[in-house]
């Protein structure tokens, strides 16, 4: 069942409201602009797509259009970030942090600049844009950097809360957003605790043998899988891993100590992603059987969100099968 303590959307399994996760980012920037004059926003010719156009209209003196020059955008933001400003840089994740990764590394991260990197159109669910615009490696290239925090929100409300939180903490953040509308899982009352994983689905009994750990919009698919598994008499946990770096190591270890296996779920390559981060930690603390749901060493292609999730094995059916595969091992 849904964890009642977290005040999640009770209509998630019927006809849930759908909103673009990226809208949470844009709305948070409007709120930040009102209360903090040090907030500045930069983009690389993608103001509307990254939802910063409303900020630009309201505070043009605090908005910088860098054009198609992602490295330059990162460099400008780094200077602002070490000069008392809170800089948000916005582009498609394939370009930022993809194209400008070295500039981010050297000018922002190395200098501990107060810059928040918003990677939009992440994962394969970018519809007709295809592989060139589908960032499925961004978690890997960002979490390997020292001194950065990485967040992958599950829905609109979590994206808004994560953006607001990042402005209150000095230093570099990477926040990952998807383009299309996705089900709203949380509510305004659902707590957002940076650095903590949240148990969204509780088993009926204490005999659950599998924990599903999902991130981003695929938390919804994990919840659908958990509901169907429960109807089949299989109890599982579902955790929302919105903070990928730093990992909630204490809770992950606690969970691994009471289950027999873990299924990780992410719209990202399985190499280097959230699942890899969990496996790296458990490999040195409590070796655990893990099934990895994600892109299996392949690029995506053009298509609808529903078709792509199905084709690349990221949907509820793939998650259910992974749970059953783990259970069959003992």
pLDDT cut 90: percent of the chain above it: 96
Distance from C-alpha of 326 to C-alpha of 261, rounded to nearest angstrom: 6
More confident residue, 174 or 204: 174
Residue 126 has pLDDT above 90, yes or no: no
Query: Are 4-8+191-327 and 18-183 in the same CATH fold?
Result: yes
Cα angle, residue 244 at apex, residues 51 and 153 outer, rounded to 5°: 30
Which CATH code is given to the segment(s) 4-8+191-327? 3.40.50.920
For 187-211, the pLDDT digits (tens) are 999 999 999 999 999 999 878 999 9
Q: Is 206 a catalytic residue?
A: no
Label residue 145 by pLDDT band (50, 70, 90).
very high
Q: Which of 14, 17, 70, 291 is catalytic?
A: 70
User: Would you list the domain boundaries of the chain?
Assistant: 4-8+191-327, 18-183
pLDDT over 90 (residue 242): yes
pLDDT (0 to 100) of residue 205 = 85
The pLDDT of residue 152: 98
Average pLDDT over the chain reads 97
Is 18-183 CATH 3.40.50.970? yes
Read off the pLDDT of each residue in 300-319 and give the average, rounded to a whole number: 96
pTM (global) more than 0.75: yes
**Residue 330, pLDDT score:** 82
| pLDDT tier, 127 (very low <50, low <70, confident <90, very high otherwise) | confident
């Amino acid at each position: 069942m849904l964890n009642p303590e977290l005040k999640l959307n009770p209509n998630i399994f019927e006809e849930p409201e759908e909103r673009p996760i990226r809208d949470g980012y844009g709305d948070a920037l409007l709120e930040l602009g009102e209360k903090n004059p040090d907030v500045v926003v930069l983009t690389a010719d993608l103001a509307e797509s990254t939802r910063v156009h409303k900020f630009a209209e309201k505070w043009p003196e605090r908005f910088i259009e860098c054009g198609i020059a992602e490295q330059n955008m990162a460099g400008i933001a780094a200077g602002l970030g070490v000069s008392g400003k809170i800089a948000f840089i916005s582009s498609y994740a394939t370009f930022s942090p993809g194209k400008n990764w070295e500039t981010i590394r050297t000018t922002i991260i190395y200098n501990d600049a107060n810059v928040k990197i918003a990677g939009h159109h992440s994962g394969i669910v970018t519809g007709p844009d295809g592989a060139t615009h589908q960032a499925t490696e961004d978690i890997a290239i960002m979490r390997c950097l020292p001194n950065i925090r990485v967040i992958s929100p599950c829905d609109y409300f979590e994206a808004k809360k994560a953006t607001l939180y990042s402005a209150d903490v000095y230093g570099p953040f990477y926040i990952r957003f998807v383009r299309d509308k996705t089900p709203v899982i949380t509510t305004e009352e659902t707590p957002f605790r940076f650095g903590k994983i949240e148990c969204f689905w509780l088993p009926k009994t204490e005999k659950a043998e599998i924990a599903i750990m999902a991130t981003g919009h695929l938390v919804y698919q994990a919840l659908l899988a958990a509901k169907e598994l429960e109807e089949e008499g299989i109890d599982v946990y579902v955790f929302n891993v919105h903070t990928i770096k730093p990992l909630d190591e204490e809770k992950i270890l606690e969970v691994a100590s009471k289950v027999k296996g873990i299924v990780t779920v992410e719209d990202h390559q399985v190499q280097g992603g959230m699942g890899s981060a969990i496996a790296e930690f458990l490999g040195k603390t409590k070796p655990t059987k893990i099934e990895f749901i994600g892109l299996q060493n392949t690029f995506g292609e053009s298509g609808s969100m529903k078709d792509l999730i199905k084709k690349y094995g990221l949907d509820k059916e793939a998650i259910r099968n992974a749970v059953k595969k783990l259970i069959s091992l003992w």
